[in-house]
């Protein structure tokens, strides 16, 4: 390991009282940052939507499915375009290093499912290869194969990105948000994923448009193997 002690311009060493005072000054800025992030998410929930008129098809472990099918009965769908395919560094043993870092951060998707949200990774690799990669890397998120112009149409043919979709009661699908570049860095945690969806975290402290589903904080949180009754309630529209 390189010895950095001689070259680093390190902060001063202070007393416990001085350290606590410095921490409290920083906390004021951190709280402001949190409130600004909440306000940005609230504005995001008021973004206009774009109707998805074109039909798209994906190969999955259960056969060919449409974009609407990928929602798996839920209202919201998050699709991350991961680069795992021929001509990508690491093929066929690994996917893109950056996309693999993103995959390593993904929390248990049961928590997203409990908020009526499905997360899917999408690549151009065949399903047999994807299954091998997921097993090797210990990844559990659904992962589908792009078969048409989905990646080109949604800005992820040459670079990674995360598209967010909403499906209404009539089955119509809408694009509601998109992030890429450093925006993808923060993805993986349940809260960050929910904050880019049109319904948000669906908790009653949030600033959301009238009529949006909301519950009390903590009331819906559960162990990742104990969410079935929550999902059933959401799909009946009671939460």
pLDDT greater than 60 at residue 136: yes
Q: Which residue has the higher pLDDT, 177 or 231?
A: 177
Can you give the pLDDT at residue 238?
Answer: 36
In tens, the pLDDT along 47-87 reads: 999 999 999 999 999 999 999 999 999 999 999 999 999 99
Beta strands 143-146; 161-167: pairing state = unpaired
Q: 209: which strand partners?
A: none
Q: What is the mean pLDDT of the chain?
A: 94
In tens, the pLDDT along 37-58 reads: 999 999 999 999 999 999 999 9
Q: Please name each of the domains of the chain with its CATH number.
A: 72-234 (3.40.30)
Mark residue 72 as left, alpha or beta (left: phi above 0; alpha: psi -120 to 50; beta: remaining).
left
Can you give the pLDDT at residue 151?
Answer: 98
What DSSP assignment string belongs to the chain? ----TTT--PPPP--HHHHHHHHHHHHHHHHHHHHHHHHHHHHHTT---EE--S--EEEETTEEEEHHHHTTT-SEEEEEE---STTSTTTTT---HHHHHHHHH---THHHHTTTEEEEEEESS-HHHHHHHHHHHT--S-EEEE-SSHHHHTT-SSS-EEEEEEE-TT--EEEEEEEEGGGGGGBTBHHHHHHTSSSTT-BTTS---TT---B-TTTS---TT--HHHHHHHHTT--
Can you give the pLDDT at residue 232?
Answer: 47
pLDDT greater than 90 at residue 237: no
pLDDT greater than 60 at residue 226: yes
Q: What predicted TM-score, i.e. pTM, was given to this entire model? A: 0.92
Strand order in the sheet with 143-146: 50-51, 173-180, 161-167, 76-81, 117-123, 143-146, 57-60, 63-66
Check: CB of residue 239 under 8 Å from CB of residue 115. no
Average pLDDT over residues 118-123: 98
Matching residue, tokens 């190969």: 59
d(CA 59, CA 45) in angstroms, rounded, equals: 31
d(CA 227, CA 113) in angstroms, rounded, equals: 8
In the chain, the percentage of residues whose pLDDT exceeds 70 is 93
């Amino acid at each position: 390991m390189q010895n950095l002690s001689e070259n680093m311009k390190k902060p001063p060493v202070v007393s416990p009282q001085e350290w606590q005072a410095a921490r409290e000054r920083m906390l004021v800025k951190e709280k402001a940052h949190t409130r600004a992030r909440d306000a940005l998410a609230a504005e995001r929930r008021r973004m206009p939507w774009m109707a998805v008129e074109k039909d798209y098809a994906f190969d999955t472990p259960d056969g060919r499915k449409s974009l609407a099918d990928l929602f798996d009965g839920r209202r919201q769908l998050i699709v991350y375009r991961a680069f795992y395919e021929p001509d990508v560094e690491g093929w066929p043993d690994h996917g893109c290093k950056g996309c693999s870092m993103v995959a390593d951060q993904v929390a248990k998707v049961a928590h997203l499912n409990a908020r009526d949200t499905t997360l899917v990774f999408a690549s151009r690799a065949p399903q047999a290869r994807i299954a091998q990669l997921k097993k090797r890397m210990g990844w559990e998120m659904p992962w589908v194969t792009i078969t048409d112009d989905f990646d080109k149409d949604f800005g992820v043919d040459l670079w990674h990105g995360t598209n967010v979709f909403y499906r209404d009661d009539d089955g119509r699908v809408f694009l509601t948000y998109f992030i890429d570049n450093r925006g993808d860095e923060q993805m993986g945690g349940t809260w960050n994923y929910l904050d880019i969806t049109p319904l948000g975290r669906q908790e009653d402290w949030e600033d959301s448009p009238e009529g949006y589903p909301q519950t009390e904080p903590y009331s819906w949180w559960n162990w990742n193997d104990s969410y079935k009754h929550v999902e059933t309630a959401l799909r009946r529209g009671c939460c």
